[in-house]
Chains A and B, each alone.
Chain A
Amino acid sequence: MTKARGNMTAFGLTREEIRRKIQLPWSEAFRISWRYVTIRIGRSLVTASTVFLSVAFLMAVSTMILAAKATGFIAEDDPAFKAAIARYTWSVLLGFMICATGIVSALLMSVTERFREIGTMKCLGALDGFIVRMFLIEASLMGFFGSVAGAIIGALLMLIWAGIKEGFSLWAKIPWGFKSATGEWGFLAYFLASILAGVFLSVISAIAPAWRAAKLQAADALRTEI
């Protein structure tokens, strides 16, 4: 292998080698995405705040239901109780839809801002899939931290409010574990489900912006003056 044809042999690698060598390992993608999230922390916080709010609302409603059941005065099959739950479910869903819109627009903005960087990465050999991967990881990171904070704050506020109204002894009656003694979902289950919902929502919302970023032509991306 002479120096002059050194690069040509890159094309002549065995299939296995090509397969192995064109890649962006998850660890590296994660590191790069983490960098983007932390360096543009202000923007990340704004994006995460929509997730934060909707997850906080979801968790507050969940905690309220648990607390209401814990008082022992609520009958599960009470039509009024059922109607209330249905109302809250709608509000939560609506909140999540608004949240998704917020994430999509924030991420589209972020794609526009990074036209040149995305084009550069493509010039350096990034596949479309690498760009998609980085944006999805970024969204899931913001979704995760927003959701955890939202779930904690939402639950805490509702617990304090319920404590003030019904007395803090109520806390002892709330099923904190994954399942309650009667086999129903407990606090931990609601907590984890809320976080999962927040992350899921973020990733789903990020698909369209990530796709748009990945489909940029390298030359177009480089030409853009922003």
Chain B
Amino acid sequence: MAMEQMMPSGEMRERLQEAAEKLEPMIEQVSEFIVRTRDVQKIYLMGKVEVHALRGVTVDIKRGEYISIMGPSGSGKSTLFNMIGGLDKPTSGSVYINEVDLAQLDAYELAWLRCRTIGYIFQTFNLIPVMTALENVTLPMIFAGVPEDERRERGMELLKRVGLAERWNHKPFELSGGQQQRVAIARALANDPAIILADEPTGNLDLKTGKEIIELLKELNQEKGVTVISATHDLKMIDVSDRVIWIRDGQIARIEDRSKIRVEAALEVEEALMEGELPSVP
């Protein structure tokens, strides 16, 4: 019954048909890269002043990688995060997720992508305050049309995985920051996404809790093979990252592989500390 109510117009049906036709051939060409950006530029207008948040970013991210996008505040890392997540459109250039050009997607397809392919984690947790932990985790499943019993079961499994099964009935304000972020991580995993996008996931957490969250993300990355991309300036992230993308002034300053990370990161930290761009790390 709900079905007929959901789809009142033939127009919506047609649009979804078009969407399916557009997307079907793309499944065949799954490449090893889950995210590719090509010369992405973003210009914001602040009053009459043009702000170049991104000045041509080209980056390829492989399936199952753990990527940190690092850089000082205002370097454009959050902008890049929004581009990859389909939350904002580039002024020029393209972003491909699973070889699908995001610019080609309409509102329905974007919603589908956000719901099924990407899980988002935010600095401020962004749980829905009127809902319990379990309801927050199952919300994306509602949008994805998962039946209620399965939602409950999977939601509880995910809460168990992040160590909060016994808190399922708590509202966000009854949980600590670290616990809220765990619920947010469980919610990001709700529809078994290929990518987790995290924007400063440890920004509002203390050192120890932040470390736990980073470890949890790394574990999930290894267990589920989910690609983790986090915009951060938390240096604790460096240890777990496969690659670190350093952004400066809207451009990629350097991409470092895991093998080289420690030495170069140490130098970078030193340099940044001298410039006063990073908080001191204990």
A-B contact count (CB 8 A): 140
- Chain A's closest residue to B26 (CB) is A11
Known A3-B225, A222-B122; contact A11-B130, beta-carbon cutoff 8 A: no
Within 8 Å CB of A5, what residues of B?
Answer: 27, 30
Report yes or no: A222 in contact with B126, Cβ–Cβ below 8 A: yes
Question: Is A149 on the interface with B (CB-CB < 8 A)?
Answer: no
Q: At the interface, yes or no: A9 with Cβ under 8 Å from chain B?
A: yes
Q: Provide the bound-state CA to CA distance between A26 and B1, in Å.
A: 10
Contact pick for A124, options B20, B129, B187, CB 8 Å: B187
Cβ B128 vs Cβ A120 within 8 A: yes
Given A4-B225, A7-B194, A26-B2; A125-B112 close (CB under 8 Å)? yes
Is the contact region of chain A dominated by helix, strand, or loop, or is it mixed?
helix
In the complex, whether A19 has a CB less than 8 A from a CB of chain B is: yes
**A10 CA to B109 CA in the complex, in Å?**
11
Q: Which positions 8-38 of chain B face chain A at CB distance < 8 Å?
A: 13, 16-17, 19-21, 23-24, 26-27, 30
Category for how many chain B residues contact A: 35 or more
**How far apart sit A32 and B142, CA to CA, in the bound complex (Å)?**
11
**Do B87 and A218 have beta carbons less than 8 Å apart?**
yes
Chain A residues, CB < 8 A from B127: 120
Of the candidates B26, B107, B111, the one having the most CB atoms from chain A within 10 angstroms of its own CB is B111
CB distance from B241 to the nearest CB of A (A): 20
A74 at the interface (CB under 8 A from B): no
Quote the shortest CB–CB distance from A127 to chain B (angstroms): 5
A39: Cβ under 8 A from any B Cβ: yes
Distance (whole angstroms) from the CB of A107 to the closest CB of chain B:
16
* Complex contacts, B129 vs chain A, CB 8 Å: 117
Q: Is the CB of A10 within 8 A of B88?
A: no
Interface residues of B in 86-126 (CB under 8 A from A): 87-88, 98, 100, 107-109, 111-112, 114-117, 120, 122, 124, 126
B51 within 8 A of A: no
Which chain B residues in 164-222 approach chain A with CB under 8 Å? Answer: 187, 190-194
* Minimum CB–CB distance for B95 against chain A, Å: 13
A: number of interface residues (CB 8 Å): 46
A24 adjacent to B16 (CB under 8 Å) = no
Residue of A nearest to B2 (CB): A25
B111 CB contact (under 8 Å) in A22, A119, A120, A217: A22
Chain A residues 143 to 199 lying within 8 A of chain B, measured CB to CB, are none
Known: A11-B23, A35-B131, A127-B107. A22 touches B145 (CB 8 A): yes
Given contacts A12-B24, A15-B20, is CB(A124)–CB(B115) below 8 Å?
Answer: yes
Task: Check B192 against A7 for contact (C-beta < 8 Å).
Answer: yes
- Chain A residues with Cβ below 8 Å from B88 are 217, 219
User: Do A4 and B63 touch across chains, with their CB atoms under 8 A apart?
Assistant: yes
Whether A24 contacts B124 by the Cβ 8 Å rule is no
* Closest Cβ–Cβ distance, residue B230 to chain A (whole Å): 15
Q: Give min CB distance, B221 to chain A, whole Å.
A: 13
Contact partners of B20 in chain A: CB under 8 A: 13-15, 18
A26 to B2, CA, bound (A): 7
Query: Across the interface, do A36 and B27 meet the contact criterion of CB distance under 8 Å?
Result: no
Q: Are A10 and B117 in contact (CB under 8 A)?
A: yes
Which residue on chain A has the smallest CB distance to residue B23? A11
- Chain A positions near chain B (C-beta within 8 angstroms): 3-15, 18-28, 32, 35-36, 39-40, 116-117, 119-128, 130, 217-219, 222
Known interface pairs A11-B23, A124-B114; 19 further A-B residue pairs with C-beta atoms within 8 A, sorted by A's residue number: A7-B193, A8-B26, A8-B194, A9-B27, A10-B116, A11-B112, A12-B24, A19-B7, A22-B143, A26-B5, A119-B126, A121-B128, A121-B139, A123-B126, A124-B115, A124-B120, A125-B143, A126-B143, A217-B87
- Could you list some 30 contacts between A and B, CB below 8 A? A4-B30, A4-B64, A6-B192, A8-B27, A10-B112, A10-B116, A11-B23, A11-B27, A12-B26, A13-B20, A15-B21, A18-B20, A20-B3, A21-B144, A24-B143, A32-B130, A35-B130, A39-B130, A116-B124, A117-B128, A120-B120, A120-B127, A122-B111, A124-B120, A124-B139, A124-B190, A125-B115, A126-B111, A217-B88, A222-B122
